[in-house]
Structures are given as structure tokens and as C-alpha cells.
Structure 1
Amino acid sequence: MKKILTMLALCVVMAIGGEVVVFAAANTTYAFNELIQKYSQIAPQTKIKLSLGASGGLVTQIQNGAPADVFMAANMDFAHKLYESGFALKAPVVYAQGALAIFSIRDIKLNANLKDLEATKSLSIANPDIAPYGKASIEALKNANEYDKLKDKIIITQKISETLSQALSAADVGFIAASAMYDEKMSKYKEGENFVLVDQSLYTPIDQGIVLTKKGESNQEAKVFYEFILSDDAKEIFKKYGYNTPK
């Protein structure tokens, strides 16, 4: 019955079209062009209006009345926060699991265990209060027993995508979402030379959660987009951009 209802909903979406307002964590930036392209094959009449940012800031915007239909957080905590405050229809589910990397264009030795960074003059990290990847970065430094040595060199940005911008310009090293390195524009930078994946034992797994908001309840297109993000097609795209995906 559920499959029949989903097919009927999809037929309506394909016939009528409309708009879905998606608020998504900044780390999904690099995968979203391909996600939208794939979704347009399913629902060519539907427009996806995308707003990217730090998850904590996006939660605040939605709670203050921002018209999001779907929220894709950078971790489960922020997705749960929206649900528990009454702004989502049901508890969040994991759509992808993010990975943390360190990146540099300088002549700096990069290690998965975060050792040998003392010579760096600056490290760019997303605000750990609102950006889950920033929180994971601080956690990893502390678990590696490197935080006290490096804390005075940390430059805080407001979202994870800005740490990459900093590392491409002023900062010696950026703690970035690994997904950024799978973007075509970054293909000239090499793993082991310009970036390494941070040892995943140093930080709590970054389970990224999705919810359909109360506003999205009346938007049939939003329901179809929500199901698409949890589909095998979307999982394959997330895998291409360095994410692990739930089974």
C-alpha cells in the first residue's frame, strides 16, 4: 500500500510540479548539484530552492519562521532538536555519514593522527557550537592530545565550507568535510599530499539526519524529495562524495 501511495504521489508531482525549500548543512554543498540533477529526472517540474549553512543556524532560522520543507542536518543532534521542539513531523533518520579531513596547500606534513602540526601558524575550524564538523574537529584534536598545543592558532569560521576557503587562502591547514575533496574543482589536490582523512577513531561518527518539517507536511513535492534523499539513487551520489551511507 505504501508503495502504491508513493507512486500516486510521484505521479501528482510529475504532472503539477511546484517548489521544495530545502535547508541543508554546508558540507552537502558539493553533492547537491548532482542530487538535484538526479531528482529532476524523477520530478522534472519541481524546483528545489536550496539554502546551505551551519546546522545550528539553520535550526534557529526554521524555529523563527523560515519556510523550510526539508531539513538536512550535519548531525543527528540538530535534526533531533528541530523534532523535539515541534517543528518536524517525525524523528530524524540518517541519510549519510560524514567524514572529516585536514587540507593544506602549504608544504606541511599531514597525518591522520593529527601529529606534527605544531609548526603551522593557523588552523581553520568551523564553529563547534553550530557546525557539527567543527565539533568533530575539536574532539579529534583533544583525543589526539594536540588541542592544547594548537588552540591559540585556531581560526573559527561560521560553517564548514568556509574552512576550505580559508585553507585555500590564508590558513595553513583547514579541517574540512571530506566531501569537498570529491568535487571536480578540487581534483588537482591529492590525498596524502594536500589532504588526509582524519582517523575516525578520534571523533564521534558524524551521522547526518533528515526531517520533513511541519511546513512540508502539506507539500507533496517535499514528501517525494524526502523519500528521494533516502533512496538508493541518492545513496550512490553521497558515496561518490566520500560519505558512508546507511543500509
Structure 2
Amino acid sequence: MKHKFLLCALALCGVLNAGEVSIAAAANTTYAFDEIKSEFEKLNPDTKLNVSLGASGALNTQIKNGAPFDIFMAADMKFADDLFEAGFATAKAQTYAKGKVAMLSVRSVDLGKGLDALKDEKVKTISIANPKTAPYGTASVEAMQKAEIYDSVKGKIVEAKSIGEALTQALSAADVGFIAASAMYAPKMKEGGCAGAPCKEGKHFVLVPSSLYEPIAQGMVILKKAENNAEAKAFYDFILSDKGREIFAKYGYEF
């Protein structure tokens, strides 16, 4: 009986010691997160990461409405710092990566023309993330405006809820989509994500010149709920570490 009690006690201790970290992350980080989780959990085998992905503005609102997250990884500094200024984060945001915008088409659009390709008559629909809630959507509009084509193509624009949904639309219904360049570095995209063929730069996607939009510095904060959560601090430090940056760099991010 004593032996049985000891086993139960040990099992209970294991449950109590196993930590969890809940992360609200911008949809553009989707493609890097499998590797981030794998590498972090090698170093912290008793910590489980729960990741919710979405548009930064929507996640910001959820957190303000009481969503129980420990870490917020936004697609820009604005939505992350807003939580600090509103009293929901422990400190100002730190930049964990800088994202890039790409244009994607699986419909034989001549992307070699750059943004001028959007004016082509056969381009009927252009998918972008909602610029009110998704920083990549804001950057997409800014790029079109700076290229002086926005007014001539705005009637073709279809807004997606997030940058992830913009990718889905670009791969299915839209003629062209403005997406996070990180998506193109995901294994499934490289292997056959563009209408069954490997996605190739120059053919299926091109990077939008970074001179056409403000740098997308992506910000991260620890939320007040996790102020004394050692596992959350360990994850935060991992993302800012050389290993964390190495992973993001593999998916096309800069620093």
C-alpha cells in the first residue's frame, strides 16, 4: 500500500512540475513554430508550449478581454507595445525578428513585372491580410501606394482575416496574394505547395522590395499573467537567443 501511495505521489509531483506556456503568436510565424517547439522542448522537456496563431490586432484584443496567454509575439511593435502601455505586459516589447512581404501566384501571372503585374487584366483578385488588424496587410497596402498603383487596383483587393488566410486564398481562389515571405521557406511549400509543384522564387513568388514599406519589426512581450512564470521567461529568452534567431533566419526573417 505504501509503495502504491509513493507511486501516486511521484506521479502527482510530475504533473505539478510540468509547466505550460500559452503563446499568442502572429500568423506569419506559423511556419517556424514546429522547429521552435522542437528545439525549445529539447532544452525544456518538462515544459509544454500551447500556441494560438492569428492576426496581431485580433490577438491583442483577446488579451485585453482576458484571454489567458503568457507571451504575445506580434507581427509588429505597435500591437505588442500597446499591451505594455495598457498595463497588460511586464515590460516594453523586444524585437525578435523582422519580416518580409512576398507576392504569390499559382496562376501564371508574370511576377517578373513586380507590382505592375497587378494591373494586368487577367488579375481579377488580389488577396491581402486585413490592414486594420494585420501588420503584413498594412505593409501590402503601403507597398502598392508607394508604387503608385493602389488606386488602379484597389477594386481587385479581397481582405483576409490574417496573413495565414491570405496565403490560403492565394493558393486557391485569388490570382495574386500578398503573403509573409516566411511561408515560402516552409518544407511543405518547398516540396509541392504551389499547385502540386515546389514553390519557386521568380516563378510562383517574388519578394516585395523592402523600400516600399516600413520595416516589419516584430515585437514580443511577457504578459502580466506570467510575471513570475519561469517557463514563460525561459521561452522568451530562447526566442531572443542565437538558436531562436537561427531558426527565424531559416524562414527568411532578418534582424
Do they fold alike, i.e. is TM over 0.5?
yes
Deviation sequence 1:167-209 (CA, Å, 0-9, x none): 1111000000000000011110100000000000000000000
Q: Deviations over 1:77-103 (max 9, x none)?
A: 001111110000000010000000000
Take 2:117 and 2:134, find their aligned partners in 1: how far apart are those partners? 25
Greater Rg, structure 1 or structure 2?
2
Partner of 2:186: 183
Distance 1:117 1:49 in 2: 39
Residue of structure 2 in register with 1:204 after alignment: 214
Which residue, 238, 241, 247 being the options, matches 1:237? 247
Work out the CA distance in 1 between the residues paired with 2:217 and 2:112. Answer: 23
CA distance in 2: counterparts of 1:183 and 1:134, whole angstroms: 20
Q: Specify the alignment match of 1:7 in structure 2.
A: none
Residue 147 (structure 2) aligned to one of 140, 144, 149: 144
| Shift, 1:112, TM fit | 7.3
CA distance in 2, matches of 1:217, 1:86: 12
Q: Superposition RMSD on alpha carbons, in Å?
A: 1.1
The 1:56–1:224 alpha-carbon spacing in structure 2 relative to 1, beyond 3 Å, is: same
1:217 to 224, 227, 239: 227
Deviation at 1:76, TM superposition (A): 0.3
SS of the residue corresponding to residue 58 of structure 2 reads: helix
Matched residue SS, 2:206: strand
Give 2:247's aligned amino acid.
I
The reply on whether 1:65 has 2:66 as its aligned counterpart is yes
Distance in 1 separating the partners of 2:108 and 2:228: 53
Question: Percent identity at matched positions?
Answer: 56
1:20 aligns with 2:21: yes
Matched, 1:228 2:229: no
Which structure 1 segments of 5+ residues have no match? Answer: 1-14
How far residue 107 of structure 1 moved from its aligned partner, in angstroms, is 1.1
Q: Give the aligned residue type for 1:241.
A: Y
Q: Name 1:123's counterpart in structure 2.
A: 126
Is structure 2 residue 60 aligned with structure 1 residue 37?
A: no
* Structure 1 position 16, deviation (Å): 2.9
Distance, in Å, in 2 between the alignment partners of 1:207 and 1:20 is 23
Is the CA contact 1:76–1:92 (under 8 Å) kept in the aligned structure 2?
yes
Q: Size of the alignment, in residue pairs?
A: 231
Mapped to 2, the partners of 1:207 and 1:241 lie a distance apart of 15
Task: Quote the Cα distance in structure 1 between the aligned partners of 2:185 and 2:28.
Answer: 12
1:10 corresponds to: none
Aligned partner of 2:108 in structure 1 is: 107
Letter in 1 for 2:161: Q
**Corresponding residue of 1:174:** 177
How many angstroms apart in 1 are the aligned matches of 2:157 and 2:40? 39
Q: Distance in 2 between matches of 1:222 and 1:140?
A: 36
What does the per-residue CA deviation read over 1:91-130, in whole Å, with 9 as the maximum and x for residues that have no partner? 0010000000000001111147411321210000000000
Deviation, 1:233, is: 0.3
Aligned residue among 155, 161, 165 for 1:162:
165
Q: Is the 8 A contact 1:83 1:90 kept in 2?
A: yes
* CA shift for structure 1 position 218: 2.2
Q: Give CA deviations for 1:16-69 in whole Å, capped at 9, x if unaligned.
A: 331000000000000000000000111011000100000000000000100010
Q: Which runs of 5+ in 2 are unaligned?
A: 1-15, 191-197
* TM-score relative to the length of structure 1: 0.92
* Whole-angstrom CA distance in 2 between matches of 1:146 and 1:164: 22
Moved over 2 A (4+): none
Q: Which residue of 2 aligns with 1:77?
A: 78
1:93 matched residue in structure 2:
94
1:147 partner amino acid: Y
